Structure formats: C-alpha cells, structure tokens
Amino acid sequence: MTPINATLVIRASADSVWASITHFAKYAEWNRLTPTIDGAAQLNARLGVTLAPTGHRPIALKARVLVAARNRELRWCGTGWMPRSLKVEHGFRIEQRADGCRVYHSLSCTGWRANERLIEALRQAFEATNMALVARIGAAPEPSPSVPIVLAADAAASLVMTSG
C-alpha cells in the first residue's frame, strides 16, 4: 500500500502539538482515525488501538510504541487479531519552526485486509483527523501562498487545505 502522508503547518508550539497527540484520553473528541487508544505514549509501551475507517466497522489493534520522543515524534505499529490480516504503522513527526510547527503525519497499512475500499475509508478519516488537529490546537494558520497546509495522499496527488 502506498503510505498516506500529510504535512500540516500549525502556528503553535511543539509543546502544544505534543500535548494534543499524546493525550489519548481526549482522542474521541477530535481524532476520527483512531478515536480510542489505551496505554501510554512511552517507548515500547503496549497500546490498545481502535481504528475508525469512515463508513466501516471499527478495527481493534494491538500495538507497540516505536518512537516517543517528546516534542519531536510519536510512532506506533499495530496488528489485527489474525496473523497477517492487517498491520498498521501510524505516526506524527514535529518540527519546531520560528513561526510554529510543521507536523508530518503518516499512515501505512499492509496485510490481506488492506484492500482499496479500506484504504480509501482510512484516507478519509486521516484527512478529517488532520483538519480536527489543526482546529483543536486553536491556531489554524491563515492561508498563505508561501506556507500552505498540504495533505498529500501520495506522490501523485495532493490537496491544499485553507482555513475558513
């Protein structure tokens, strides 16, 4: 599967972004992709993750935190309950800049359940999550030709989001 990637430019501190992406108890309020994560944002921690593809039943995963670097990166990898049915890697990488943060959001899925229909449903939830993250931090950037918010589904296609 081609990974789903997005770059968000957010006028907020890395601390604010980190606080939002690691406060799993509040995910149901804004995160359409993974509304439930049980566990801690700590290296090698075990997580119970619920994926919520748009228009599909929720998918339960057992996951492990691969990277938990405060204000820089959170990444986990999870698998479905059946061997080789579904493997999901999901992460946020944060770069502090003078005018805010650049957040790189990524998702990749492999396995026999990762068909086109599921991937499209995950892509929709992924994009809704990106918009909600920007809104939640409360620092939605002004549209700017020099610093757009780009949601790139793959190398061939991209969507430029504007606020308002």
In order of their start, the domains of the chain are 4-161 (3.30.530.20)
**DSSP 3-state assignment of 73?**
strand
- 146 DSSP assignment: S
Phi and psi at residue 50, to the nearest 5°: -115, 115
* Global pTM value: 0.82
CB-based burial label for 66 (10 Å; 0-12, 13-18, 19+): middle
In order along its 164 residues, the chain shows pLDDT tens digits of: 679 999 999 989 999 999 999 999 999 999 999 999 999 999 999 999 999 999 999 999 999 999 999 999 999 999 998 888 999 999 999 999 998 999 999 999 999 999 999 999 999 999 999 999 999 985 444 443 333 344 433 332 233 333 22
Per-residue model confidence (pLDDT) at position 163: 29
Per-residue model confidence (pLDDT) at position 140: 43
